[in-house]
Structure 1
Amino acid sequence: MKKLIDSEVRWGVLGVGNVCEVKSAPAMNLIPNSKLVAVMRRDEAKVKDYAQRHGVSKWYTSAQDLIQDPEVNAIYIATPPNAHLELTKLAAEAGKPVYVEKPMARNHAECLQMIQVCEEAQVPLYVAYYRRALPHFVKIKELLDAGAIGEIRTVHIHMRQVLVPDIIAKMEYNWRVDPEIAGGGYFYDLASHQLDLLDFFFGKITQASGFATNQGGAYQAEDLVVGSFVFERGILGTGTWCFSTSQLAEKDEIIIDGSKGQIRFATFGKGEFTLSHDFEEPLHFSNDLPKHIQQPLIQSIVQDLLGEGTCPSTGISGARTNWVMEELTKKMV
């Protein structure tokens, strides 16, 4: 394994919003040989407040100033997707490894540009699909690889949510449902995790097709997507995502069917899943989720940069998820 950083990964974070309060950035100070040294946000009052509350010694209102800080040797881009490409270019040009939030970008073309600039600068590019490193999903992959449910036949994603109240009332702007910023709506925000997780389990999806529409009318982006997809291993999959359903219909479940059994789990729930075989009692597995949900993945990045391990979520894999989402939403009806 190639060592890219000598002894300590010193993080600079661009865009310290909600995701940096608990999910990600605080973990950087809990991982051996890792330290959060600088944060950036355009709003001076907010970035200064974040730095003071989290004990960060340096804060900036300019992304370029943080990237050029000689103490910072790795960049975490925690902004909305519309800024990912530009900020990745700046970080790569400065020769600093990049960890970028998901979805990787607004579209597949931007993802490819991000990969290219990082390859040209010879810096690694990681994407915050942190479910690849959570213990219960790692356990599912181990069971699947060991043939616990036999040969995999089909995969089915069911995702249904009610309209978020502030969106219904249109009282508050939400960038997650603005395609110009996010690339799409909640499908891009949430389904990206599910599709990436299946990529982690089974490898690349080579074919995908679907239909997308907006039935709720609360915002511009799609709120209903149905589709099917094929993995390079020949496994077939389907998905239904609806973000304007009733409370009675709410659901978050992925079902993996094999020749000898089945695995069921929620993507966004507790660290639990169920394994079933014919004529046997189901087996329930449970793992505690970490307080800082991205900590296991960030730890794998630190180990990768120090030449001590490998990170399972890269720009290459992250771009594949964007490609699948585009294929599933090409046909708007």
Structure 2
Amino acid sequence: MAHSEKPGKIRWGILATGGIAAAFTAELLELKEDAEVVAVASRGEASAKAFAERFGIPRAYGSWTELADDPEVDVVYVATPHSAHRVAAGLCLSAGKAVLCEKSFTVNAVEARELVELARGRGSFLMEAMWMYCNPAIRRLDALVRDGAIGEVRAVHADFGLSGPFEPTHRLRDPAQAGGALLDLGVYPVSFAHLLLGEPDEVQAWARLTEEGVDANTGILLGYDSGAVAVLSCSITAGTPTTATVTGTTGRIEFPHGFFHADRFVLHREGHDPEEFTAPAASLRYEAEEVMRCLRAGEPESPLVPLDGSLAVMRTLDTVRDRIGVRYAGEA
């Protein structure tokens, strides 16, 4: 990491200017003692300048290369659609920048492996922006399960669907932008299952595809040699309750709504009254804090969002797409 002129502060660059970039930047600006946002880049100078003016960012670039080459930037947050993650993150890593890259990590596992190999080869920090893993409620869930609070995990259920309707021109229906429910929404249930059970031994899936050829409504069944299963779904045609349940041999943990940004869940154990756990509200700030903690500690990877885990999730998503027949531009 480059040395900052302001001791203790990590200097961020923002690559892309859409909704998630705005939400993340707003959270960064709240971390005044730890972070400063010094530059933003877009493919168009006008959108970069408008974003910079909105958030009080000193420098605005009309190309990604200019941001990657800015010596005053320590870490870049890549907030493009998934279809551009490989190019954008690769550009920044090659220029010596640390990178926090939005999920889904890339379009496929081949691209993900290329990024990981590039980062590891250079000794550069890289992390997928799976903010769910960094949020307090999920960290508490993970600790409880690892401590044996519900025995051996035998089933994970999770869903994430939006009702739409989305126009054919929307990015969620655009194959050129790796659209569809799976990479945008399904990555949450799949990552949730991976956190608790690891990479599956069997993957089955079914989906209804749009006229454009992306998945609109998808069901996923993951099987594990341990005997555990994960039953997951995602949709861009139906607003699902976004609930999740983790069931073990001696109890279960339920997220009544919004599992990926929850602030509470309920533990049910045989012979005990239900126990509610509450946690601070979910926020993008936690993933930003984890990145900065790693950079200060000189850690090239985050233990909360390990790169091997991101690779495993991408392999699972690839297999799901193989099962449902979805291919994106440039794929064999």
Using structure 1 for the length normalisation, give the TM-score: 0.86
Residue 231 to residue 132, structure 1, CA distance change in 2 (3 Å): farther
Residue 319 to residue 180, structure 1, CA distance change in 2 (3 Å): farther
Specify the alignment match of 1:229 in structure 2: 222
Q: How does 1:1-333 map to 2 (within 5 A)?
A: 4=1, 6=3, 7-22=8-23, 24-31=24-31, 32-162=33-163, 164-167=164-167, 170=168, 173-182=169-178, 184-202=179-197, 204-214=198-208, 217=210, 219-231=212-224, 235-245=228-238, 250-265=240-255, 266=257, 267-268=259-260, 270-290=262-282, 293-307=283-297, 310-332=302-324
After TM superposition, give the deviation of residue 269 of structure 1 in Å.
Answer: 5.5
Greater shift after overlay, 224-233 or 137-146? 224-233
After TM superposition, give the deviation of residue 65 of structure 1 in Å.
Answer: 0.8
Amino acid at match of 1:196: S
After TM superposition, give the deviation of residue 102 of structure 1 in Å.
Answer: 0.5
- CA separation in 2, counterparts of 1:50 and 1:21? 8
Residue 306 to residue 236, structure 1, CA distance change in 2 (3 Å): same
Which SS does the other structure have where 1:238 is aligned?
strand
Equivalent pair of 1:150/1:258 in contact (CA under 8 Å): yes
Structure 1, unmatched stretches of 5+, are: none
Higher relative contact order (CA 8 A, sep 6+): 1
Residue 101 to residue 158, structure 1, CA distance change in 2 (3 Å): closer
Equivalent pair of 1:5/1:305 in contact (CA under 8 Å): no
After TM superposition, give the deviation of residue 125 of structure 1 in Å.
Answer: 1.0
Residue 44 to residue 232, structure 1, CA distance change in 2 (3 Å): farther
Amino acid at match of 2:220: G
Specify the alignment match of 2:328 in structure 1: none
Residue 300 to residue 129, structure 1, CA distance change in 2 (3 Å): same
Residue identity (%): 22
Amino acid at match of 1:304: C
Equivalent pair of 1:125/1:314 in contact (CA under 8 Å): no
1:7-30 superposed Cα distances (whole Å, 9 cap, x missing partner): 4321111102111222x1223233
Residue 44 to residue 166, structure 1, CA distance change in 2 (3 Å): same
Show structure 1 runs of 4+ deviating over 6 A.
none
1:270-294 superposed Cα distances (whole Å, 9 cap, x missing partner): 422111123543222233425xx21
Amino acid at match of 1:211: A
Greater shift after overlay, 277-286 or 46-55? 277-286
- CA separation in 1, counterparts of 2:18 and 2:160? 26
Amino acid at match of 2:153: I
After TM superposition, give the deviation of residue 303 of structure 1 in Å.
Answer: 0.7
After TM superposition, give the deviation of residue 114 of structure 1 in Å.
Answer: 0.9
Which SS does the other structure have where 2:234 is aligned?
strand
- CA separation in 2, counterparts of 1:308 and 1:274? 37
Equivalent pair of 1:9/1:73 in contact (CA under 8 Å): yes
- CA separation in 2, counterparts of 1:165 and 1:129? 26
After TM superposition, give the deviation of residue 95 of structure 1 in Å.
Answer: 1.1
After TM superposition, give the deviation of residue 101 of structure 1 in Å.
Answer: 0.6
After TM superposition, give the deviation of residue 178 of structure 1 in Å.
Answer: 2.0
- CA separation in 2, counterparts of 1:88 and 1:166? 28
Which SS does the other structure have where 1:49 is aligned?
helix
After TM superposition, give the deviation of residue 160 of structure 1 in Å.
Answer: 4.5
Which SS does the other structure have where 1:251 is aligned?
coil
After TM superposition, give the deviation of residue 77 of structure 1 in Å.
Answer: 0.8
RMSD of the alignment, in Å?
2.3
Tell me the matched-pair count: 316
